Amino acid sequence: MASGKIIVTVAPTGGVGTKQANPALPTQPAEIAEDVIRCCEAGASVVAVHARRPDDSATCDPGIYQDINERIRKGCDIVINNSTGGGPTGEMVGPITAGGEPTGDLEMLWSERVKGIEAGAEICTHDAFCANTYAPDGGVVMMNASIQRSRELAQAMKEKGIKPEWECFSVAHMLDPIRLIEEGLDEPPYIFNFVLGAHRNIQAAMPWSPKTLVAMVDELPKGSVFTVSGIGPAQMPAAMGAVICGGHVRFGLEDNNYYSRGVLANNLQLVERLVRQVRELGYEPATPAEAREMLGVPRKPSVN
């Protein structure tokens, strides 16, 4: 809590949620931009964008990302993060093959995921691990980032001047990022996002607990900045855990659909509650300019 400023990231959409589960979920470019601009006015300084096709299925299509990013930049100067995870639906998903033959198992296609870096985002997520995810239809979809793939993506980000956000669902997911950092593929400040409580959707993701968070904070390389994304009912306690450990917070419908038990939330409500809590604790939400400074992210030239 060095500077007294907390970076609030809004994650408005995600790759998994549906309007059926929460009608307030923004999925189309205009909806997302409108929601993000409101959240920025309420104190969010970073947005974690996921893109969707017109049929709401997940995509990393740079054309759609670009459309969303431009609409957001027209309305505010929030720092833009585009996902290279996409989601477990639509064109993101394809068969795992062996010797050219489908094995019957599915993965989030690497060739689709890496398109996420082509749309002019200042930060992109980098999930440098392998994990099985459970799709909404009950199927299993592999997220498969070997060290070779992770290195390739880190190099591509470095060439484009994109900051990687190292996304970690457990302490083990920090190991490849640390290795790539040691290889010189990222510079301080290193941005880590600890996603806690996703164990219902991702195999071996750690449930939220203060102890788990402390263990992950202990593994951070010197010069890191971290944010915490608490999933579902873990959202509020994980946010408080992050702040008292000197970190930052991600909030939004990507991570949690509910304001309280049985009461659906919208993104603005979640950001407003978080900002209230940040202020009660004696801190202020960082502005986008302050967040850029803290995250080591230069302002992108306007895309207009």
Partner 1 sequence: MADGKVIITIAPTGGMGSKEMNPHLPTQPEEIADDVFACYEAGASVVAVHARRPDHTATCDPDIYRDINDRIREKCDIIINNSTGGGVTGEMVGPTKDGHLEILWEQRIKGVEGGAEICTHDAHTIVGSFNGKNITVATPPNACRELAIMMKERGIKPEWECFNLSHMQDPLLLIKEGLDEPPYIFNFVLGASKGFQGAAPFSLKVLQSMVDMLPKGAIFTVSGIGPAQLPAAMASIICGGHVRVGLEDNMYYGRGQLATNLQLIERLVRQLHDLNLEPATPAEARELLGVPRAKAA
Residues that bind partner 1 (CB under 8 A): 1, 210-211, 213-214, 218, 236-238, 240-241, 243-245, 260-261, 273, 276-277, 280-282
CA-nearest of 164, 75, 67, 78 to 114 is 164
Distance of CA 98 to the CA centre of its chain: 31
Distance of CA 251 to the CA centre of its chain: 10
Q: Could you give the 3-state DSSP secondary structure of residue 281? A: coil
For partner 1, which is the closer residue by CB, 93 or 217? Answer: 217
For partner 1, which is the closer residue by CB, 65 or 208? Answer: 208
For partner 1, which is the closer residue by CB, 74 or 276? Answer: 276
CA-nearest of 92, 12, 95 to 55 is 92
Cβ 197 to partner 1 shortest distance, Å: 12
For partner 1, which is the closer residue by CB, 262 or 301? Answer: 262
For partner 1, which is the closer residue by CB, 128 or 243? Answer: 243
Cβ 239 to partner 1 shortest distance, Å: 9
Residue position matching structure tokens 């850029």: 292
For the purposes of burial, counting CB atoms within 10 Å of the CB of 77, is it exposed (0-12), middle (13-18) or buried (19 or more)? middle
Cβ 251 to partner 1 shortest distance, Å: 12
Measured CA to CA, the distance from residue 216 to residue 171 in angstroms comes to 5
Cβ 238 to partner 1 shortest distance, Å: 8
For partner 1, which is the closer residue by CB, 172 or 214? Answer: 214
Cβ 34 to partner 1 shortest distance, Å: 25
Cβ 146 to partner 1 shortest distance, Å: 33
- Rg over alpha carbons for the chain, rounded to the nearest Å, is 18
Is there a cis peptide before residue 189, judged by omega within 30 degrees of 0? yes
Cβ 261 to partner 1 shortest distance, Å: 7
Report the 3 state secondary structure along 201-263. Answer: CECCCCCCCHHHHHHHHHHCCCCEEEEEEECHHHHHHHHHHHHHCCCEEEECCCCCCEEECCE
CA angle (84, 85, 88) in 5-degree steps = 145
Given a contact cutoff of 8 angstroms between Cβ atoms, the answer to whether 151 and 184 are in contact is: no
For partner 1, which is the closer residue by CB, 26 or 241? Answer: 241
